[in-house]
Amino acid sequence: MSFFAALGDRIDRIDSVVSVGLDPDPARLPDSVRDADLPRFAFNRRIIDATHEYAAAYKPNAAFYEDPDGWRALRETIAYAHGKDVPVLLDAKRGDIGNTARQYADLLEHADGITVNPYLGGDSLQPFLSKAEKGVFVLCRTSNPGGADLQDRELTDGRTVYERVADLAAGWNEHGNVGLVVGATAPDELESLRDRVPELPFLVPGVGAQGGDIEAAATAGLADGVGLVNSSRGIIFAGEDGPNWERAAGVAAKRLRDELNAYRG
């Protein structure tokens, strides 16, 4: 089954579009997991136990795993999430010349989808796009303050760079496996992109710790009901190092689901 068909099924089954970001910052891990063989996996496993009934997907960001133990923790995390029947989107933001991109695309062996960077153009993304059953989310209008520096620039044809990316991504969607990454901190752009590429599901990060717009995320993020709204720190560190940190994560995931559902209608 294709990534978006499976994601749509999961969204319908649990009535949630929440993506739980698994970004286990080592400096913030609770004491109770620090002595585990793989502390990041021990943490993620307990977060997954506490949140899976609200999680349409998990999104581990590769930055938190790029060392030998980290890769082991990531693989265990993905397998554990799959054991709970939750798809996993690897937030890797990759993009490179074809020969290198083919190696990066092997990252998709274990995950169900990936985030990619369009800066090197269409050929650099082919190794990802050609994996028809995997989801490929193209960075379009990012949530960080500097996202505007390049992405909002106007091109000679009057389009902004992020609009051009959206148009290109729509053209790359030969297998129906392409989505866009659009931050909730840019609600106007989010809404105009929904009108521009109505068929593309969005991954919308930036709610929670970055203070993004939940209403815009819930209304503009979805294409025919399919899309994801991600919170990482706002869920996984909701209880910080308190004794009930897992419970706090579960409560935060449920709260985000309910807030989004109030606007999903």
Give the catalytic positions in this structure. Answer: 93
77 binds ligand OMP (CB under 6 A): no
- When binding is defined by CB under 6 A, the residue of 61, 77, 124, 160 that contacts ligand OMP is 61
- When binding is defined by CB under 6 A, the residue of 208, 221, 239, 250 that contacts ligand OMP is 208
* 146 exposure class (CB count in 10 Å sphere: 0-12, 13-18, 19+): exposed
143 binds ligand OMP (CB under 6 A): yes
Helices (H), 84-186: 98-105, 122-129, 147-151, 161-171
Q: Which is nearer to ligand OMP, 61 or 131 (CB)?
A: 61
CB of 235 to ligand OMP, least distance (A): 8
Cα gap 83→33, rounded to integer Å: 21
Q: Which is nearer to ligand OMP, 210 or 219 (CB)?
A: 210
Question: What is the identity of the amino acid at 238?
Answer: A
* Cβ–Cβ < 8 Å for 55, 63: no
Number of residues that bind ligand OMP (CB under 6 A): 20
127 binds ligand OMP (CB under 6 A): no
Which among 156-164, 200-208, 221-229, 256-264 is the span making contact with ligand OMP, rule CB under 6 A?
200-208
Q: Which is nearer to ligand OMP, 176 or 211 (CB)?
A: 211
* Cβ–Cβ < 8 Å for 71, 107: no
What is the Cα 120 distance to its own chain's centre? 21
In the three-class reduction of DSSP (H, G, I as helix; E, B as strand; rest coil), residue 174 is classed as: coil
- When binding is defined by CB under 6 A, the residue of 24, 118, 179, 206 that contacts ligand OMP is 206
- When binding is defined by CB under 6 A, the residue of 8, 21, 113, 135 that contacts ligand OMP is 21
In order of 68, 78, 83, 118, the CA distances from 71 in angstroms are: 5, 11, 18, 25
Both tokens of 264, joined, read: 């999903």
Cα gap 165→215, rounded to integer Å: 24
DSSP state of 29: -
Q: Which is nearer to ligand OMP, 44 or 61 (CB)?
A: 61
- When binding is defined by CB under 6 A, the residue of 230, 238, 249, 257 that contacts ligand OMP is 230
36 binds ligand OMP (CB under 6 A): no
Chain positions 94 to 123 lying near ligand OMP, rule: CB under 6 A, are 115
212 binds ligand OMP (CB under 6 A): no
In the chain, % helix, strand, coil (3-state, to 5) comes to 50, 15, 35
Positions touching ligand OMP (CB under 6 A) are: 21, 23, 61, 91, 93, 115, 142-143, 181, 183, 205-206, 208-210, 230-234
